[in-house]
Amino acid sequence: MTVRKVVLAEPRGFCAGVEMAIKALGWMLRIHGAPVYCYHEIVHNKDVVEWFRRAGVVFVDDPDDVPHGAPLMLSAHGSAPNVVERARAGDRIVVDAVCPLVTKVHHEARVRAGKGLQIIYVGHRGHDEAIGTLAEAPASMHLVETLDDLERLDIDVGEDVGLLAQTTLAHGEWAGVLERARELHPDLWMPDRSDLCFATTNRQAAVKRLAPLVDLLLVIGSENSSNTQALVRTAVGAGARAALRIDGPDDIADDVLVSVEVVGLTAGASAPEGVVRAVVERLAPREVESLSVTSEDEYFPLPRELRDRIRSLVTLVAFSMGVPVTAGPGDRTDRDMPAGAVLDALPSGDSEPGGSEQPAGRSPAPNTVAAS
Ligand code: SF4
């Protein structure tokens, strides 16, 4: 079966928060060398995690497993206050790569709970972001995944109630809970803008436009990526004849493409563009075009503690060499360096058994010499 056309959704793939987190972990490796520790997956993408693991990052689920004095990064999803506290104990060199948009929700949770509100939190049970946010005010927050959860909530009539949300939800699911919550609590407080972030809503808007136009919509992203799963549900809700989440080109069986002429393709906010290219190659269409709903130019600078550290190192090196201090990443010059380039430059851990194999979607690392 020949795919006639692939239509690429725009925007797709890495968001500003993921770009920042990947670049930050890349800098940690360059400054400290392996091993660098990371609390939870830096982003929810198994390729990205595997590439960092091969480069010497050790992923842990408990900060107490990290040796004292070691470099430790906290993931983009945000961490519970007691995790941050335990991470910072023991002289570890801690960099918190939480996305600023997740930080905003943590802040709202603390402030509103402090004002006495009971907070309905729309999110996914067990997701790292939800765990971290709920831990900001556990006595005041109520996790709601479905309308049934909402109906079962035990909030007294007359209590002040607010609503916050995980940043990566499908818009339709969040909107349904909001509507019912407003019926139950007419004075419901919520932020001026929904907590669903720009990256989530932009990628879903593109999928809504694309879904009715194609025979099959492929969404690249990992199973534990909330925004990826939301894109699949959004595609189905928007009338896609078929929608499928894939990790990469190897997940596309030939029978999936039977009777498929036009494929729509998008990628979750933590899926590398290299994997998109590998999927297009696998589909081998006669033509490729794009469907764009908006462009994104958001940029999140590296975490302050990392910028300060890099600036100190640049100053030290310049001083020791007797040359003037030039601009460094602390001065936003990393803005033009895409996270994909950081991934491509990671050492590939060739000394490990099987480590020389390049996963689909990642260019050969610059230090890899191709056999002639
Ligand atoms: S998906 Fe949104 S909230 Fe999550 S890291 Fe990206 S920009 Fe931040």
CATH of the domain at 109: 3.40.1010.20
Question: Do 221 and 270 sit in the same domain of this protein?
Answer: yes
10-residue mean pLDDT profile of the chain (372 residues): values are: 93 98 96 96 96 98 97 97 95 97 98 98 97 98 96 90 97 94 95 95 98 98 96 97 97 95 98 97 97 96 93 81 63 77 85 45 41 28
Which pLDDT score is estimated for 203? Answer: 98
Which helix (H) or strand (E) covers residue 40, if one does? Answer: none
- Among residues 275, 292, 309, which one ends one of the domains? 292
Question: Do 216 and 254 sit in the same domain of this protein?
Answer: yes
User: In this structure, is residue 96 part of a structural domain?
Assistant: no
Question: Do 213 and 263 sit in the same domain of this protein?
Answer: yes
Question: Do 151 and 216 sit in the same domain of this protein?
Answer: no
CB 169 less than 6 A from any atom of ligand 1 = no
Which residues are catalytically annotated? 129
Choose the residue to mutate in 167, 195, 266 for probing ligand 1, maximizing ligand atoms within 8 Å of C-beta.
167
CB 167 less than 6 A from any atom of ligand 1 = yes
Length of the chain in terms of residues written: 372
Choose the residue to mutate in 19, 22, 75, 101 for probing ligand 1, maximizing ligand atoms within 8 Å of C-beta.
101
Question: How far is ligand 1, taken at its centre, from the CA of residue 99, in Å?
Answer: 6
Ligand 1 atom with least separation from CA of 99: 8
Which pLDDT score is estimated for 1? Answer: 65
CB 20 less than 6 A from any atom of ligand 1 = no
Determine the Cα–Cα distance for residues 296 and 180; give it in Å rounded to an integer.
32
User: In this structure, is residue 172 part of a structural domain?
Assistant: yes
Which pLDDT score is estimated for 368? Answer: 31
Determine the Cα–Cα distance for residues 32 and 26; give it in Å rounded to an integer.
10
Residue nearest to atom 8 of ligand 1 (CA): 17
CB 194 less than 6 A from any atom of ligand 1 = no
Residue 318 has a CB neighbour count (10 Å cut-off) of 14
Question: Do 220 and 285 sit in the same domain of this protein?
Answer: yes
CB 45 less than 6 A from any atom of ligand 1 = no
CB 227 less than 6 A from any atom of ligand 1 = yes
Question: Do 241 and 282 sit in the same domain of this protein?
Answer: yes
CB 101 less than 6 A from any atom of ligand 1 = yes
Helices (H), 64-197: 81-88, 100-114, 128-134, 147-152, 171-184
Ligand 1 atom with least separation from CA of 298: 7
Which pLDDT score is estimated for 351? Answer: 45
Choose the residue to mutate in 200, 201, 204, 226 for probing ligand 1, maximizing ligand atoms within 8 Å of C-beta.
200
User: In this structure, is residue 162 part of a structural domain?
Assistant: yes
Question: Do 118 and 165 sit in the same domain of this protein?
Answer: yes
User: In this structure, is residue 268 part of a structural domain?
Assistant: yes
Sheet of 71-74: strand order equals 57-60, 36-39, 71-74, 93-96
Question: Do 180 and 241 sit in the same domain of this protein?
Answer: no
Question: Do 224 and 275 sit in the same domain of this protein?
Answer: yes
User: In this structure, is residue 54 part of a structural domain?
Assistant: no
DSSP symbols for 71-108: EEEE-TT---HHHHHHHHSTT-EEEE---HHHHHHHHH
Cα angle: 129, vertex 17, 26; to 5 degrees: 105
Question: How far is ligand 1, taken at its centre, from the CA of residue 252, in Å?
Answer: 27
User: In this structure, is residue 168 part of a structural domain?
Assistant: yes
Determine the Cα–Cα distance for residues 42 and 162; give it in Å rounded to an integer.
30
Question: Do 177 and 217 sit in the same domain of this protein?
Answer: no
Instruction: Please state, in angstroms and as integers, the Cα–Cα distance from residue 173 to each residue in 146, 147, 230, 241, 286, following that order.
Output: 8, 9, 9, 20, 37
Ligand 1 atom with least separation from CA of 102: 3
- Among residues 184, 214, 247, which one ends one of the domains? 184
Domain range for 107 is: 101-184
Question: Do 107 and 140 sit in the same domain of this protein?
Answer: yes
Which helix (H) or strand (E) covers residue 63, if one does? Answer: none
Contact of 296 with 12, CB cutoff 8 Å: no
Question: How far is ligand 1, taken at its centre, from the CA of residue 200, in Å?
Answer: 7
Question: Do 110 and 173 sit in the same domain of this protein?
Answer: yes
Determine the Cα–Cα distance for residues 135 and 140; give it in Å rounded to an integer.
10
Count of domains forming the chain: 2
User: In this structure, is residue 267 part of a structural domain?
Assistant: yes
Question: How far is ligand 1, taken at its centre, from the CA of residue 269, in Å?
Answer: 7
- Among residues 184, 216, 241, which one ends one of the domains? 184
User: In this structure, is residue 109 part of a structural domain?
Assistant: yes
